[in-house]
Structure 1
Amino acid sequence: MLLFWRRRRANRRATKTNNYSSKTGNMELAIPNHFRCPISLDLMRDPVTLSSGITYDRESIETWIEAGNRTCPITNQVLRSLDPIPNHTIRRMIQDWCVDNQSYGVERIPTPRVPVSSIEVTEMLEKISAARRREDLEGCQELVRKVKELSKESERNRLCFIANGAASALSATFQAFAEHSPPSPSSSTKNVVVLEELLWCLPSFMPFDEETKSYWGSSSSLRCMVWFLKHGTLSARRNAVFVLKGLVSSDQLSLTKSLEIEGIIEALVKLIKEPICPATTKASLVVIFNMISTTPSKETLISSFGEMGLLSLLLEMLVDSERSACEKALGVLDGMCDCSAGREKAYAHALAVPVVVKKLLRVSDLATEMSVSILWKLCKNEKEEDGNALVEALQGGAFQKLLLLLQVGSSERTKEKATELLKMLNLKRDNLECIESIDFKNLKRSF
């Protein structure tokens, strides 16, 4: 098994050269064997030694250990300790060798940073908790900034913080400072900076456990996040919506409480109207989707979003947006069409039906299903004397697209809606409409 694993690793790296060619000739420089990792056979960048006495590159041996192995790959001895020890002597020898052979194109390997340990993380979190109890803003800010820097250094550090409960400790600290002195236009700069630093760290430690959710779901924490959504810096608004997304997507109680916070609807719509980055826009759409999908007072909420121009913003996004954003925008639009207030906004917008028809069979299977659902809700609930939605759908080529959808396959629920839509459209259809063949050029049949 060991031999097979090593051969497979060696084969994956077969295209990489293990020697260095001189810049001025055809001579090649061989890497000394004791500088190579026994697993990857490459030059070690961060040599570490196991309890068996064998030295490996840290990335390779950690991959071996994380796969569930508890023995040394070379000696097959059971490891007394799974913590690799940095081999500074070999590292300095490798660095000196790189410097001596710069003419062969060898670059000096920088001194690696030692990953943070569980003991260090625990001590750091205890100090943050102590600073919170003392209400020491400056001390807490310095410690949280250190957590942020260490978690950014490597994925291993980030996972170590998660495993030792960093999310819960930082969330408790955020709640405490938000409760004692919630931010406002007159808040002290120190208080806002500490809360912003805490807010920056939390998205890296998602998904949250139940204890962390309880801290974020408190009224003080939610009010503080909404304040940052409205008045914070660009990075603070970005991190706040990420945390809010992770919270409301998995905790119904927090979602209900967040709707009670004044100004949250305006803040979310503003993030779509004045986008910070694509990820922020999509996070805002996810939060809105969860809100309008689960709240009991759906009609009132959708009416509020409609009055703020959300439907127009969604249609603008759909005209030219990538797949993920398009799917999320269609999901929100589908939710808005559940209520009469949302449908009235769609009926009044000249682009609503044409844009939705355009997305049929062009983005993804999920986008097609949501587009069918939107059209079905608009056409079914339209007053018979109006019929504008049906006419606009026919003019956009919906009849032919729906026929093709039934042939290429979809979910049973979507087929039912498509069939019902075809019956409604057929009543308004006098003759076949022409459609753009480009809509179907990449379409593949399911059989």
Structure 2
Amino acid sequence: MRRRGGSKKELIPVMGTSEEEEEITIPSQFQCPISYELMKDPVIIASGITYDRESIDTWFESGNRTCPVTNTVLTTSEQIPNHAIRRMIQGWCVANKGSSSLDRIPTPRVPITSHQVVEIREKLSSATRRGDHVSCVEMVKKMKRLGKESERNKKCLSENGVGFVLCVCFDAFSENASNVTTVLLEDVLLLLTWMFPIGLESQGKLTTTASFKCLLSFLRRGDQNAAFLVKELLSFDEANVHALVAINGVEEAFVKSIRDSVSLTSIYRMISVKPETISRFLELGLVNLTVEMLVDSENSVCEKALLVLDAICEREEGRREVRGNELVMPILVKKILKISESAKKSLVSVMWKVCKTGDGSEVEDALRLGAFKKLVVVLQVGCGDGTKEKVTELLKMMNKQMKMIGFVDRSDSSIEFRHLKKPF
């Protein structure tokens, strides 16, 4: 293990040839003045002091604009690789490798600079205007490679206007998308997931009819980057929802690609903003698909699936479809006490809408499945006002149904609605 000595010289325990533990003291010039650890990527800042890049990055990201050693106010946070020190450190590691567990520190990749990003951005912009597919592919792949090297590079790309140019590029080539441009467009989608949130001007390029149609074509193929981007676009502005649902086949695209909380979030957004889309979603079997997703799903998927069912139940045609699915009530009852508070709110709302507008058979089903006792627990543990009112009404309906059919809850036959304790 490493430890810091009182003289601020790090001691690294190593195993010698005699298998006895020895310690190697790191030369002070090889230690980062912030962490006192061996520098892996030494860089010089404006004050002339050398630090390990990771340590000085953390210092600057914390809002500091001074040199940690000299306390000098810095006019720039730019860093220059100290190649001389790095080579000396690498040589020292190699020289001590025979008698220690030290490995030679690999030569770090130098992060991209803002100037380099602007140069790449302008080349991509120019190539897009010319319709130069080959040059666009070259620039986009270069950005992709740089972004994969480090999070710092991704941040630098995002902060220097690359997002807008990528949106322009996507819109330009989506107009006549073909097998030739597919790889370019896929790579642009990947890069854009690093850039969100993007500005209104950039959104405008992704929400044209051509761009939306192209995004939907990728969505049908199961492209998760396209699914993410559509979800983000729909969450920004209702106008984006209206623009998307105006495209023929949009409901089919989402039903075909439904697989996780991302797609469910987009569907919920469309149904909430444009309730008339419910009819088409019902024709495509959305209720059955959503109910299937509730079975053994993780909490995030469960939350979104219940939101979708709740939105569907706003309409009578939706409630009829939900009632017609024999799995709905058993799953709802099973999950009452096993989900998050957010999901519970939607679940209770679905059950309330279905039972309140049904013929009484739904209430009886819920009773036989053990819903009464579980709803009592929900009420006593506590929930939001809106949910509490729905739970109370459900319990009243069930209590009335018990008397009508002479039903006795064998799990706890002493429970009567009038004996319920007040919620905490």
TM-score, normalising length from structure 2? Answer: 0.90
Contact residue 18 and residue 42 of structure 1 kept, 8 A: no
Pairing of 1:372-411 with structure 2 (within 5 A): 372-382=348-358, 386-411=359-384
**Structure 1 residue 327 displacement after superposition:** 0.8
- Counterpart position of 1:21: 14
- Of residues 247, 257, 276, the one that matches 2:233 is 247
- Counterpart position of 2:215: 225
**Structure 1 residue 431 displacement after superposition:** 4.4
For residues 144-172 of structure 1, what are the alpha-carbon distances to aligned partners after superposition, in whole Å with 9 as ceiling and x for unaligned?
Answer: 11111212222221121221121111101
Contact residue 11 and residue 24 of structure 2 kept, 8 A: no
Change (3 A) 1:434 1:364: farther
Pairing of 1:269-418 with structure 2 (within 5 A): 269-272=255-258, 275=259, 281-295=260-274, 298=275, 300-382=276-358, 386-418=359-391
* Cα RMSD (Å): 2.0
Change (3 A) 1:102 1:341: farther
- Counterpart position of 1:153: 149
- Counterpart position of 1:4: none
Q: 1:146 and 1:222 mapped to 2: Cα distance?
A: 26
Q: 2:363 and 2:251 mapped to 1: Cα distance?
A: 32
Whether 1:141 aligns to 2:137 is yes
- SS of corresponding position for 2:24: strand
Pairing of 1:423-434 with structure 2 (within 5 A): 423-429=396-402, 430-434=406-410
Q: 1:80 and 1:108 mapped to 2: Cα distance?
A: 34
Percent of aligned pairs with the same residue? 46
- Counterpart position of 2:174: 178
- SS of corresponding position for 2:236: coil
Which residue identity is paired with 2:394?
L
**Structure 1 residue 435 displacement after superposition:** 5.2
Change (3 A) 1:329 1:434: farther
Q: Which structure 1 residue ranges, 5 or more long, are not aligned?
A: 1-9, 12-16, 276-280, 437-445
Q: 2:230 and 2:411 mapped to 1: Cα distance?
A: 42
**Structure 1 residue 432 displacement after superposition:** 4.4
Contact residue 255 and residue 291 of structure 1 kept, 8 A: yes
Q: 1:271 and 1:102 mapped to 2: Cα distance?
A: 54
Which residue identity is paired with 2:160?
N
Q: 2:368 and 2:107 mapped to 1: Cα distance?
A: 66
Contact residue 360 and residue 371 of structure 1 kept, 8 A: yes
- Counterpart position of 1:102: 97
Contact residue 13 and residue 21 of structure 2 kept, 8 A: no
Q: 2:104 and 2:237 mapped to 1: Cα distance?
A: 50
**Structure 1 residue 53 displacement after superposition:** 1.9
**Aligned residue-pair number:** 402
Contact residue 175 and residue 218 of structure 1 kept, 8 A: yes
Which residue identity is paired with 2:262?
A
**Structure 1 residue 192 displacement after superposition:** 2.1
Q: 1:301 and 1:60 mapped to 2: Cα distance?
A: 53
**Structure 1 residue 434 displacement after superposition:** 4.5
TM-score, normalising length from structure 1? Answer: 0.86
- Of residues 181, 186, 192, the one that matches 2:182 is 192
**Structure 1 residue 285 displacement after superposition:** 0.7
Q: 2:97 and 2:318 mapped to 1: Cα distance?
A: 67
Which residue identity is paired with 1:293?
S
Contact residue 138 and residue 190 of structure 1 kept, 8 A: no
**Structure 1 residue 61 displacement after superposition:** 0.7
Structure possessing the higher radius of gyration over alpha carbons: 2
**Structure 1 residue 422 displacement after superposition:** 1.1
**Structure 1 residue 70 displacement after superposition:** 1.5
Q: Which structure 2 residue ranges, 5 or more long, are not aligned?
A: 5-9, 413-422
Which residue identity is paired with 1:207?
P
Contact residue 20 and residue 106 of structure 1 kept, 8 A: no
